[in-house]
Structure 1
Amino acid sequence: MKAVINSTPLISLAIIDRLSLLDELFEEIYIPNAVFKETTRKGKRKASVIEKWGENRKADVLDIKAKTALGLIIDEGEAEVIVLAQEKDIGLVIIDEDKARKVAKLNGLNVTGTIGILLDAKKQGKILQLKHSLDKLLTEGIYISEYLYDNALLLGKEKR
């Protein structure tokens, strides 16, 4: 399976040292140029880790009109994720932001996010515990609603 990833999941997985899960779960991951630039900017958390891991996964968006149109309602990186997925005929995008997830679904794409990746990894035995990763994300300032946290633990068959 192939996927196109947005900034927040990329940064979140880097923060918890789990970028390798993307290689384990997917045959190919694409990072749109706008996302790559955003996540590797000087001063961004884990920029050097993401740059090293993602250098050969960067991809250009060709349909600038579609990107511009989507850019009126979501940010540039999210727009590039959706357009790139459509251009490469990839049905899955990895996006955490709610509005962009809705736009991706309206454009016929399947959506997962950081927590979805972690849940898949746990189901496949690639990580043993979900709670530790979620707690580290929270400690590092990544927002996870209480509902999402509790639901993830429930789906992962773990206790709070």
Structure 2
Amino acid sequence: MHVMVVADSGPLIALARLDLLRLLRTHFDEVLVPDAVFAECTVHPHRPGAQAIRAAQESGLFACVAVTGVDQFAGDHLLDRGEAAALVLAQERACPALVDERKGRRVARQLGIPVVGTVGVLLAARQAGNVDALAPLFDALATYGYRIPADMVLEALRRAGEI
């Protein structure tokens, strides 16, 4: 079965900061990134993760895709352009969206778009033996200012057998 996902900037940046962008291709056959999301992640080349995301795109880890109708969708749902582009593309391709931001996840659920997040990717990687432990990864994300709800962290650690 071919598994495709459309990524938003938050998870891309989080995985880039952890040097784990490669996990996307171990869990998804095809990763699509809207042009607006790619631009958001790489427009400032000195921002953390920007170079890794650009390198991942150049190596074919994911494909950049032009998306139309983004501004209208963003306005209708009060989302930023990147999130709106990710959800529009996920809806068009009938595939899950890789989104962490609460509002984007809520809109996706309202539209019937399956949602995966950074925590889900990391948990799947742990269960597949592609990462040794989740706790240090969650700690690193916290030091980068990445906020993950405590109940979500605890549930992932429990499912991974780390607590």
For structure 1, which runs of at least 5 residues remain unmatched after alignment? none
Matching residue of 1:6: 8
Q: Which moved more, 1:98-107 or 1:2-11?
A: 98-107
What's 2:25 paired with? 23
Aligned to 1:75: 80
Aligned amino acid, residue 81 of structure 1? A
Report how far residue 54 of structure 1 moved: 2.0
Residue correspondence of structure 1 range 1-160 to structure 2 within 5 A: 1-42=3-44, 43-55=46-58, 56=60, 57-62=63-68, 64=69, 67-72=70-75, 73-89=78-94, 91-159=95-163
Structure 1 runs of 4+ with >4 Å offset = none
Alignment length (residue pairs)? 155
SS at match of 1:158: coil
Q: Supply the distance in 1 between the matched residues of 2:146 and 2:23 (Cα, whole angstroms).
A: 19
Residue deviations 1:30-87, cap 9 Å, x none?
Answer: 010110000001232121110111245110113x2xx223212111101000111122
Contact 1:31 1:54 in 2 (8 A): no
Identity of counterpart residues, as a percentage?
A: 36
Deviation by residue 1:2-42 (Cα, 9 ceiling, x = unmatched):
00000110000000110000011111000101100000012
Unaligned runs of 5+ in 2: none
For normalisation by structure 1, the TM-score amounts to 0.91
Length-normalised TM-score, structure 2: 0.89
